[in-house]
Amino acid sequence: MKQAPKATKYESISHEIKRRILEKEYPYDAPIPDEITLAKEFGCSRMTMKKALDMLVMDGLLYRKRGHGTFIVKSAVDNQLVNVSTNESLGLTNLLKDKDIKSKTITFEVMFPDEHIASHLSITVQTPVYHIIRLRIVEGEPYVLEETYMPAELISGITDEVLQSSIYSYIKNQLHLTIGGCHRKIRADKPNELDQKYLKCAPDDPVLEVEQIGYLNTGVPFEYSFSRHRYDKFVFTAVNIQKT
Amino acid sequence: MKQAPKATKYESISHEIKRRILEKEYPYDAPIPDEITLAKEFGCSRMTMKKALDMLVMDGLLYRKRGHGTFIVKSAVDNQLVNVSTNESLGLTNLLKDKDIKSKTITFEVMFPDEHIASHLSITVQTPVYHIIRLRIVEGEPYVLEETYMPAELISGITDEVLQSSIYSYIKNQLHLTIGGCHRKIRADKPNELDQKYLKCAPDDPVLEVEQIGYLNTGVPFEYSFSRHRYDKFVFTAVNIQKT
DNA sequence: CAGTGGTCTAGACCACCCA
DNA sequence: GGGTGGTCTAGACCACTGT
C-alpha cells in the first residue's frame, strides 16, 4: 500500500533547508550560505544544490540576487504564506485533511456532453460523461457546491459510495491513475438557485467559482468542474515568482 | 532604452518549440522527438534541452511520461489556456497592452500604516506609507478599483502624473528596481460603497478581490494592495502542474 | 532488451556586484 | 579581482516502459 516515493537528493536537501529557514536557523539579514558551500555541506554538486534551492524560490521562500547571494523572504515566513496553492494537490479531502468532511450527492447521472464540455475534455459529444453535483460539508457547515463532468469510460465505476468520500482517492487508489495538473479560472458570481438552496446563501451573497480542467499525468483531461464556494468560507491563494 | 534581455539558449529553444506546437507542426497523437534528438537538432546538451521543455511543461503545454516520451496537451492548445497567469507580469498596463487604459486617482496620501499593513510590508507602524486608491478604466469602462499601500521611502517620488500612467513602469524605469514576485489571495465579496460608486456595481453585484503582496527581486515587500474587480469583467487564471 | 525521461556530477564560462 | 548566482556541457547512472 505504502509506495514510498523515494525522495530524490534535491528534494531531501530542499526539505532540510526549508526546515532551517522556518525554524529560523538562518538570520534574515544575511544571505544564507552560498551554493558551493552548501553543496559541499550536503555532499552534492552545485547543480543539485541549485535545484534544491530553486524549489524554495518557487515557493516564494527564498530569492536570489546574482553577485550578492541567496536571501530569505522575511514576510513570507512571518505571514506563513508559504506553499498554499503551488504544491496543492487536488481535492478537498486532501486539502482539509483534519476536518470532518461530508458529501451530499445532489445529481449523479450519465449523459452526453454538449459541445462546450466535450471540447474541454477533448472528447466527442458521443462520449458519455458522468454528471455529478455534490454539496461538500465541512465541520457541519455547507462549504462548496461542486459540479463535475468526467468521461465515464476513463473514470469508470463511480458509485454512490465513492461520491460519499473522495473521487480523487478513488482515481488514485482504485483506478491507479495519476493526476498531473490542472488549469483553473476563478471568478465571482451571483448565487443561483442551487447555491442559495444548498450553500444557504442569501440572494445577495456572492459566490466564488473555480472552473477547473484536471489532467492525468498522461495529459488526458479527466475532469471539467465548477466549484462554487460561499464567499465567506473560501480564499484562493497563489504564488507568482518572476523568472529572473 | 531598449535593454535587449539577451535570451538564453533554453529560452529561445523553448520559444521555437512552443511555436511549433501552437502551429501544429507536431501531431497530437505521437510523442514529440525525444530529448536527445532535439538536443542534437538544436546543437545543445540534453540538460539544456530538458530545461527548455521544462518551461513548456510548467505552462501546461506538454507532459512527459518516463519510458514513453513527451506529449502535447491537446486540450491546452485547443482551448488556448496557455500561459495566462504563470508568466503574467504585474500591472494592468502590462497585461492589457493594447487597450486604452485610464486612471482616476481617488485617494493619494501619506500615512502611518496600522499593524496589519505594517506586518505585511515587513515595516514598523512608524514607517510612512503611500495610500493610493485608483480607479482603472479600460476602453472607457470602469474595470478595477485598486487600493495600494507602499513604503514611501522605498518607492519614493510618486506623483499624480505617475498615478495617471503606471506605477510599475515608474518603479522599473525611474527607480530602477526590479519586481520579483508576489503572493495573492483571491476572494469574492459584496460591493462596498466605493465599489458601487466607481465600478458602477449594483448593490447585489459581487466583486472579485485580489489581495496582493508584491516583492522586489531583493525580497523586500514594496506593495500591499487590494484590487476589486467587477465580477463580469475579470477572471483570474492559474495553472498547476503536479511535481512528478 | 532498447528507448525514454529523471537525476546527478565535475567543471567551465559568463553576468553581476562590491570593494 | 574575488565572490556570487546563471547557464551550459558531456557524460554517467537510474527508473520506467514496451517488445
Domains, in order of start, for chain A: 9-72 (1.10.10.10), 92-230 (3.40.1410.10)
Q: Residue A88 pLDDT more than 80?
A: no
Query: Are A142 and A230 spatial neighbours (Cβ–Cβ below 8 Å)?
Result: yes
pLDDT of B86: 44
**More confident site: B2 or A74:** A74
Of B121 and B85, more confident:
B121
What pLDDT score does B184 carry? 86
Give the closest residue to A195 by CA, choosing from A235, A231, A237: A231
Is the separation of the CB atoms in B20 and B52 below 8 Å?
no
B217 vs A102, residue with greater confidence: A102
Mean pLDDT of A32-42: 94
What cell does A35 get? 551554493
Q: How far is CA A146 from CA A199, B6, B139, B207, in A?
A: 11, 46, 35, 21
Which residues does residue A209 pair with via DSSP β-bridges, in sequence order? A187, A228
What share of chain B in percent tops pLDDT 70? Answer: 88
Q: Supply the pLDDT for residue A193.
A: 94
| Residue A195: pLDDT band with limits 50, 70, 90 | very high
Lowest mean pLDDT among A8-12, B104-108, B165-169, B228-232: B165-169
Nearest by CB to B60, which of A71, A183, A244?
A183
Q: Where are the alpha helices (DSSP H) in chain A?
A: 9-22, 35-42, 46-58, 74-78, 92-95, 115-121, 160-164, 167-169, 193-194
Report the C-alpha gap between B228 and A243 in whole angstroms: 26
Cα separation, B134 vs B137, whole angstroms: 9
Q: What pLDDT score was predicted for residue A91?
A: 59
User: Does A235 sit within 8 Å of B186, measured CB to CB?
Assistant: yes
Q: Which residue is nearest to nucleotide D4 (CA to C1')?
A: A67
What the block records as the C-alpha cell of A89 is: 494537490
* CB distance under 7 Å to strand C: residues: A 8-10, 43-48, 51, 65-68; B 31, 34-37, 46-47, 50, 64-70, 244
Distances (CA, A) of A152 to A28, A106, A225, B144: 52, 18, 14, 41
Whole-number Å distance between alpha carbons of A130 and A155: 9
Q: Is the pLDDT score of B89 beyond 60?
A: no
Q: Is A127's pLDDT higher than 90?
A: yes
What per-residue confidence (pLDDT) applies to B179? 82
| pLDDT value, residue A102 | 86
Report the candidate in B17, B7, B69 with the shortest Cα–Cα distance to residue B42.
B17
- Average pLDDT estimate for A187-207: 95
| Residue A221 to residue A215: CA distance in whole angstroms | 4
pLDDT band at A3 (very low <50, low <70, confident <90, very high): very low
Lowest-pLDDT range of A206-215, B128-137, B209-218: B209-218
CA distance B157 to B175: 9
pTM of model > 0.85 = no
Residue A204 CA distance to nucleotide C17 C1' (Å): 56
Task: Sort out which chain B residues have CB atoms less than 8 A from A236's CB and list them.
Answer: 185-187, 236, 238
* pLDDT above 50: residue B85: no
Strands (E) located in chain A? 62-65, 69-72, 101-111, 129-138, 141-151, 179-189, 207-216, 221-230, 236-241
CA distance B54 to B60: 10
pLDDT of B6 = 66
Quick one: which of A204, A189, A112 has its CA closest to A149? Answer: A112
Q: How far apart are CA B163 and CA B160, in angstroms?
A: 5
Min mean pLDDT across A28-32, A130-134, A194-198, B90-94 is at B90-94
Nucleotides of strand D lying closer than 7 angstroms to a protein CB: 2-12, 15-18
Least confident of A147-151, A167-171, B3-7, B208-212: B3-7
Q: Which amino acid is at B111?
A: M
Checking if the pLDDT of A45 tops 60, the result is yes
Per-residue pLDDT, A90: 57
- The residues facing B67 across adjacent strands are none
Q: Which of A177, A174, A176 is nearest to A157 (CA)?
A: A174
Q: Is the pLDDT of residue A164 over 70?
A: yes
pLDDT at B90: 58
Higher pLDDT, A92 or A21: A21
pLDDT band at A113, cuts 50/70/90?
Answer: very high
d(CA A203, CA A194): 11
Identify the three-state secondary structure at position A107: strand
Lowest average pLDDT, out of A236-240, B47-51, B124-128, B150-154, goes to: A236-240
Please indicate whether, in this complex, the C-beta atoms of A75 and B120 are within 8 angstroms of each other.
yes
How far CA B218 is from CA of A65, B9, B221, in Å, comes to: 7, 26, 9
Give the closest-approach CA distance of B118 to chain A in angstroms. 10
What was the pLDDT predicted at B96? 58
CA distances from residue A112 to A160, A163, A227 in whole angstroms, order as listed: 20, 20, 21
Please give the average per-residue pLDDT across B95-109, as a whole number: 81
pLDDT, one tens digit per residue, over B224-242 is 999 999 999 888 888 777 6
Q: Do residues A185 and A211 lie in contact, with contact meaning Cβ atoms separated by under 8 Å?
A: yes
Per-residue pLDDT at B87: 43
> Does the structure show a pLDDT above 50 at B160?
yes
Location of C-alpha cell 522575511:
A74
Chain B partners within 8 Å of A87 (Cβ): 243
Instruction: Give the pLDDT mean for B179-204.
Output: 92
pLDDT band at B94 (very low <50, low <70, confident <90, very high): low
Contacts of residue A86, defined as CB under 8 A and 6 or more positions apart, other chains included, come to A58, A59, A60, A238, A239, B240
Most confident of A75-79, A152-156, A164-168, B163-167: A152-156
Beta bridge partners of B129: B111, B151
* Phi-psi label, residue A242: left if phi above 0, alpha if psi -120 to 50, beta otherwise: beta
Distance (Å, rounded) from C-alpha A29 to C-alpha A185?
Answer: 38
